[in-house]
């Protein structure tokens, strides 16, 4: 099947970015399935661990670029799986704090192996990786300027 490319080069690059992201995401899902977690759960585990083990759903939403209700549903599933606990904040009764359980800590340790990501990135030289990182940050930052509320970015 030979489909002609759009004359809109920006769109073509966007499609390639989306396809690359989707392919790596699927490989990551397959890798994580052996540990009984999803890529989204691994992302949440990473955020909880990176924020000293006790954070709020709102903070997780900001880090993961997801709507609050999406993260709330994700955290409920993770609590049912025994990966996290949710407890009311002692100072603010309407706020929840999320922390890892022993099972969640084990899943986090398993998830940081990230072989599927390293395998995909091995197609790039070190210089290619640096350029891709630089270009990706530029595109992300420009896209964020178009949003109503620009989130604080927790990592590069």
Residues 71 and 118 in one domain: no
Residue 22 CA to residue 9 CA, distance in Å, equals 20
Q: Is the model's pTM score more than 0.95?
A: no
Residues 134 and 65 in one domain: no
Residues 83 and 69 in one domain: yes
Residues 43 and 75 in one domain: yes
pLDDT for residue 151: 56
DSSP 8-state code for residue 146: T
Structural domain for 137, as ranges: 114-148
CATH code, domain with 29: 1.10.10.10
Residues 59 and 86 in one domain: yes
Per the listing, tokens 């989306």 go with 18
The token pair at 137 is: 């940050």
Total domains in the chain come to: 2
Residue 61 CA to residue 135 CA, distance in Å, equals 24
156 residues of the chain, pLDDT tens digit each: 566 667 889 999 999 999 999 999 999 999 999 999 999 999 999 999 998 867 999 999 999 989 999 999 999 999 999 999 998 877 777 788 999 999 999 999 999 999 999 999 999 999 999 999 999 999 988 888 887 655 566 666
The token pair at 29 is: 């899902």
Whole-angstrom CA distances from 26 to 15, 16, 51, 127, 139 are 16, 15, 26, 26, 23
Residues 131 and 98 in one domain: no
Backbone angles phi, psi at 100, to 5 degrees: -80, 145
6 falls within a domain: no
DSSP 8-state code for residue 55: B
22 falls within a domain: yes
Per the DSSP assignment, residues forming a β-bridge with 96 are 88
């Amino acid at each position: 099947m030979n489909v002609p490319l759009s004359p809109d080069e920006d769109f073509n690059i966007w499609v390639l970015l989306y396809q690359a992201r989707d392919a790596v995401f699927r490989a990551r899902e397959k890798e994580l399935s052996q540990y009984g977690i999803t890529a989204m759960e691994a992302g949440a585990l990473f955020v909880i661990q990176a924020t000293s083990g006790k954070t709020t759903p709102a903070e997780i939403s900001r880090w993961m670029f997801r709507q609050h209700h999406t993260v709330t549903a994700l955290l409920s599933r993770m609590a049912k799986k025994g990966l996290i606990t949710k407890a009311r904040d002692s100072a603010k009764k309407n706020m929840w704090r999320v922390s890892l359980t022993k099972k969640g800590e084990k899943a986090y340790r398993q998830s940081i192996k990230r072989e599927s990501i390293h395998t995909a990135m091995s197609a790039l030289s070190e210089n290619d990786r640096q350029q891709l990182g630089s270009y990706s940050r530029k595109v992300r930052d420009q896209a964020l300027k178009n949003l109503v509320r620009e989130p604080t970015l927790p990592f590069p």
